[in-house]
Chain A
Amino acid sequence: MDMKRILVYGELEKERLHPVSLELLSKAKEIFPESDVQFGMVLLGSGIDGAVAEAQKSGVDLVYLLDDQRLSVFHPEYFAAALIQAVKAFNPDLLLMGATYGGEELAPALGIRLKTGVAAHCTDLRLTKEGKLAQLVPAFGGKVIGEIFTPNTRPQIASIKPGMFLASPQEDKNASLSILDASLLDSVSQRIRVKGVNRKELSSLPVEKAEVVVCGGYGIGSPENWNSLEQLAGKLGGAVACTRPAIDAGWVGDESSMIGTSGKSIRPKVYIGVGISGATHHICGMKDAGLIVSINSDPNAECFNVSDFKVTGDGNLIVRSLLEALG
């Protein structure tokens, strides 16, 4: 089936365009460079003039917008209704969505409402020799990657986690703006009501933005050692990341720095893993790092296989030596 129109769900982050929106657009443009493919982006939010300006310059041909107070906080029903409206207007062959907490809930909902297939958490999109779009999805924690095709229904929908693809600069097409009719929200049921928003303090350097990531696992062993790991990341001008058991142990307050299947995907210049066994759930989030150094006391640790350099020994001793060397 021909690919004529591709719609990207323009995820927002604090009233601005979320990087994942541009990552998805870049990927789509890379696969379909032909000039006859039309690209659209849909923005749903409240008070988002900044994001609209960014989207219009992002390289798409058309931007759909619904700027409404009722879209100021994620709401499964309002957002699904508005997104459907944009899909009906643009009639895309492919809908790309960020697998964020919101996008991950919207994509499958649209799959049922539009009676079409959704490929979840794609790690890649590519064309086969026959020109079919293969959506590559991870299974079994990323140990296995499977091709998924959506042969008969349109639009085909794919969700992709932030950080999977690289955003590349696109030619500004000075996109025209199409405003969706806000009255469509009036008929949405009131079965869900937003009661409040709890904002956590975000770290100044999120893991996905750091050039150096020092990642700690269960082998770190104690809150004191975790402290040293944080100091080390600070001295290197980087960020601390973690595995799931480090959160379970209580050394890390929340999941925003967890790397892997259910956490973030990162591609820093340098990743240093300390006390991490190398479960496939974790590996699939850090495999794209430039340099990977792993420190583990177990000479057979799985993580060593995916590392450029390995150190067999007590990770906390090495961390201490690094701290001393960095002064």
Chain B
Amino acid sequence: MNIIVCVKPVPDPDKYNLLTIDPETKRLVREGIPTVINPSDKNALEEALRLKDLYGAKVSVISMTPLFSVDKIKQCLAMGADEGFVISDRAFGGADTFSTSYTLMKAIEEIGTPDLILAGNESADGATSHVPVQLAEWMSLPHITNVTVTEAFETKLHVRKKTEEGSVDYEIDLPAVLAVERNSNQPRMVTAKGMVAARSKSIRVFAKDDLDVDESLIGLCGSPTQPGELIVPNLKRASQELKGEPEEIAAQIITLIKKSGVAVAV
């Protein structure tokens, strides 16, 4: 089985409180925020590696990302992926999910359609949950998102999709695209052995000219959605301190609740 895992390096989501917008340029200031592998992509990779351990598979990771985050792809190789693909070119910059997924599709065409494509369910920065579905649609493959459980058979998978009411179980024919939920498994750690093994694994870089792309569908210009202004919402409230012994504070809180128009029986 050939599996491709879509991976996106993102600014560390634990540090988003530190983000600001430059009042002059109106651009995001993300200084001091390190880049990490998007959390749910690690779950997608773990799912792939689990299938590899069980049934044998070749696991590739693919990412459309600036070259400076190639070390994150190395990290995936150290976790156990077999090879990496990075799509990087200025011409791809500013892509929305429509043109990102188009570009990923073109690169995967170049690599060869695998039996299974796994992605994280959402990226921490954009968090649209679009790319896995849109990649599948470009490739005319079936897709299921919010996947928590996967079980593989010869030519099909059994998967569980989380829903409002609980979950739904599906059988899906391969090749297919699945978007894996965060916390659906425990991603393995990078070991020293894994790091050594990663050194001899290849990472292939695709620039625009390496891919058979329609220029009207890539980058900012090829994106049907266009960004406008960025705003940091001001959510500040009075933050008045309630003081006293716990009993006194409790009494004050109950008074506040009542004042808000909620009936409390005391």
Contact = CB atoms under 8 A, between A and B. Distances in A.
Interface centre among A278, A322, A327 (most CB of B within 10 A): A322
A275 interface: no
Interface in A99-118: 100-102, 104-105, 107-109, 111-113, 115-118
Interface in B84-130: 96-98, 101, 122, 124-130
B171 A317 contact: no
Interface string B184-227: 00000000000000000000000000000000000000011111
Given A280-B16, A326-B266, A118 B130 contact: yes
Interface residues of B, number: 84
Contacts, number: 273
Contact of A318 (B238, B250, B265): B250
B134 A322 contact: no
B154 interface: no
B126 to A, nearest CB: 6
B233 to A, nearest CB: 6
Contact of A109 (B133, B166, B261): B133
Contact of B241 (A198, A212, A312): A312
Contact of A199 (B96, B166, B225, B263): B166
Interface in A64-113: 73-74, 76-77, 100-102, 104-105, 107-109, 111-113
A1 interface: no
B164 A101 contact: yes
B162 interface: yes
A200 interface: yes
Nearest to B173: A191
Contact of B233 (A145, A279, A322, A327): A145
Contacts of B171: 192-193, 195
Q: Would you call the interface of chain B mostly helix, strand, loop, or mixed? A: mixed
Contact of B158 (A195, A262, A326): A195
B176 interface: yes
Given A109-B133, A148-B226, A326-B264, A139 B246 contact: no
11 contacts: A105-B129, A115-B224, A143-B16, A143-B19, A198-B167, A200-B165, A248-B183, A261-B127, A262-B127, A269-B260, A309-B238
